[in-house]
Amino acid sequence: MILTLDNEYAAVLDACVLAPMPLCDTLLRCAEEPALYRVLWSDQTLEEVDRTLQKFRYTPEQSARRLRKMREAFPEASISVPPQLLAAVPGLPDANDRHVAAAAIQGRAEVIVTSNLKHFPREVLAPYGILVHSPDDFLLHQFHLNPDRVLDVLDTQASAIRQQRLDILNRLRVSLPQFAELVARRI
């Protein structure tokens, strides 16, 4: 599926939310047509995902295949980060996260979705109008904005692996406790 360009609400996804498969699958399916948001990432983010997947015991071939599929599904997602922009984002606790913030600035994203909230202080990103949300908060917002679409995403995700929506919610419960609880109460 190709991401729609009509939706201008953009989110940069950090490597920590792209590596765990159930979470990544949910987030990316929400960016498929009809998209709830435009997905963005930097090349450095995908390199980090590759290293993480191999730590998760993916073979290099499995990791390369997954990243290739992500790039094919979302060719517009990749943001090229100029080196001078990396230097323009001081103040992050971990300098290795500058590419994430720089991709958000370059891609005119509204939000960075990350599990490492402390790595992206509000005061550093506020001048650029960029928010930082945990994946749980981000998907809660998406659900409140369009519950039917999010339920369709979960159903499609479940059917792809011959399971039910509740099975997907149980897989997501560790990384998305509030989201999983809200959706479970609504069904």
pLDDT tens, residue by residue, 114-162: 999 999 999 999 999 999 999 999 999 999 999 999 999 999 999 999 9
Residues 51, 81: one domain? yes
Q: Is residue 102 part of a domain?
A: yes
pLDDT beyond 70 at 176: yes
pTM greater than 0.85: yes
CATH number, residue 120:
3.40.50.1010
In the chain, how many domains are there? 2
CB atoms within 10 A of CB 94: 11
Length of the chain: 187
pLDDT of residue 72: 97
| Least confident segment among 47-51, 94-98, 164-168 | 94-98
Q: From 164, 142, 116, 158, select the one nearest 25 (Cα to Cα).
A: 158
Above 90 in pLDDT, residue 90? Answer: no
* Range of the structural domain that residue 169 is part of: 140-186
Q: Is the pLDDT of residue 65 over 60?
A: yes
What's the pLDDT score for residue 89?
79
Q: Does the pLDDT value for residue 76 go beyond 70? A: yes
Confidence of residue 53 (pLDDT cuts 50, 70, 90): very high
Whether 3 maps to a domain, the answer reads no
Which carries the bigger pLDDT value, residue 41 or residue 7?
A: 41
Q: Are residues 117 and 152 in the same domain?
A: no
Q: Which residues of 29-48 are buried (b: 16+ CB within 10 A; e: fewer)?
A: bbbbeebbbbbbbbebbbeb
- Judge if 127 and 157 occupy the same domain: no
| Integer Cα distance of 108 and 116 in angstroms | 20
pLDDT in tens, 15-48: 999 999 999 999 999 999 999 999 999 999 999 9
- Flag whether 4 is in a domain: no
3-class DSSP assignment, residue 176 = coil
Average pLDDT of the residues of the chain:
93
